[in-house]
């Protein structure tokens, strides 16, 4: 696998895991969707387990823990530890790619003091990852995130 592809994969891992660890991610976990949360958790566990096996005196695991504690501050450090592991362990890289490509990734990212209102993301494929992330002071309201087929008005039946 070429280094550019693996760099993109490392960037995608950081982008998917950042909301998983952020306070915004915690606040919207119920809207985030169980499937998307489970996919992010699985991705984290695969990375954590591989980092734990790294023979570097715990540096990779420490980088992951720092990233989990403060994704904004340590995202680049974590990505820098991830890239060489993806390049040296193609089985690990293939596993990560498979997790990332289980469905579409839909993402909303806004900066500091942003206001996101009445926004909807929908994925009728039934699998994938949806995330939302905001900088300091950002607010979210009226957010709808859905993974799975939508119920059409024709399919709704009134119960007697």
Q: Is residue 105 scored above 80 in pLDDT?
A: no
Asked whether residue 159 is domain-assigned, the answer is no
Residue at 18 is within a domain:
yes
Q: Is residue 158 part of a domain?
A: no
CA-based nearest residue to 140, from 44, 4, 12, 26:
26
What phi and psi values does residue 139 have, to the nearest 5 degrees? Answer: -125, 150
Report the distance separating Cα 35 and Cα 22, nearest Å.
18
pLDDT of residue 123: 80
Residue 40 domain flag: yes
> Confidence band (pLDDT; 50, 70, 90) for 28?
very low
- Distance between CA atoms of residues 84 and 140, nearest Å: 36
Domain tally for the chain? 1
Note whether residue 154 is domain-resident: no
What stretches of 7-149 adopt beta strand conformation (E)?
105-110, 115-123, 129-134, 139-147
Residue 123, domain extent = 3-147
pLDDT at 57 over 60: yes
Q: Does a structural domain hold residue 143?
A: yes
| Helical residues (DSSP H) of 54-152, grouped into ranges | 59-69, 71-88, 90-100
pTM: 0.63
What is the spatial distance between Cα 80 and Cα 7, in angstroms, rounded to a whole number? 9
pLDDT tens string 61-102: 999 999 999 998 999 999 999 999 999 999 999 999 988 877
């Amino acid at each position: 696998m070429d280094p550019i592809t693996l760099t993109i994969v490392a960037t995608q891992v950081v982008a998917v895991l950042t909301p998983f660890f952020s306070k915004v991610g915690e606040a919207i976990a119920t809207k985030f969707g169980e499937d998307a949360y489970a996919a992010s958790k699985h991705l984290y566990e695969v990375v954590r387990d591989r980092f734990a096996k790294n023979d570097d005196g715990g540096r990779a695991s420490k980088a992951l823990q720092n990233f989990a504690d403060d994704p904004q501050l340590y995202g680049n450090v974590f990505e820098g530890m991830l890239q060489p592991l993806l390049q040296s362990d193609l089985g690990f890289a293939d596993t990560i790619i498979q997790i990332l490509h289980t469905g579409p990734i839909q993402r909303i990212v806004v900066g500091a003091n942003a206001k996101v209102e009445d926004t909807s993301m929908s994925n009728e494929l039934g699998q994938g990852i949806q995330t939302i992330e905001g900088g300091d002071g950002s607010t979210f309201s009226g957010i709808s995130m859905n993974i799975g087929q939508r119920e059409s008005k024709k399919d709704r039946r009134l119960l007697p």
